Amino acid sequence: MSWLKRRVLLIAPLALLMGAAACGFTPVHAPGGTGALLHDQVLVQAPEEVPSNSNVAAYFLVRALEDDLGRGGGGTYALDLRVNQDVEGQAITADNEITRYSVQGTASYTLRRLSDGAVMASGTVNNFTGYSATGSTIDTLASERDAEERLMEILADQIVTRLYTSAKLDAGSE
């Protein structure tokens, strides 16, 4: 490899980093970053209106959000949630038996400042997971529960990412 190519490979990441700093980039978890402002400041509200097929899913979603954001001891913000999930057969045998299911989930969220009720961020995320139904009844039930938990962790990660990137927070609101 020529010296010129090596130098470009070494300088390019530095140029990107300097360019990001020049455009106002702030690391999420740096002091004053959105992650630092939200950590342990968000009270995650359990969804009030949960369809009967989503009770366990709501628990998994709240747990995953609290793992990412903290338990909200400071209580500066409240995160209101709505969650729904649907299960749909995906693979059907010639005997008309379903051997694979897809679990689709949707979560709507609103981050409010508790002091004045101002909405800091809101949106909806959706995703899916799947599981196999070819084992015993116990295997299938365990696979279904695991798929629900994985789906809610994915949705929680999407919500946290959106909060970190789009919430309109300032250090003075803490």
User: Could you report the per-residue pLDDT of 80-122, keeping only the tens digit for each?
Assistant: 999 999 999 998 899 989 999 999 999 999 999 999 999 999 9
pLDDT digits (tens, 9 = 90+) for 10-55: 676 665 665 555 566 677 777 777 777 888 899 998 887 666 666 8
- The domain ranges of the chain are 28-173
| Predicted TM-score of the model (pTM) | 0.80
C-alpha distance from residue 60 to each of 39, 46, 55, 75 (Å) = 19, 10, 9, 21
Instruction: Determine the Cα–Cα distance for residues 150 and 129; give it in Å rounded to an integer.
Output: 7
Distance CA 14, CA 33 (A): 21
Selected from 3.30.160.150, 3.90.650.10, 3.40.50.300, 3.30.70.1290, the CATH number assigned to the domain covering 28-173 reads 3.30.160.150
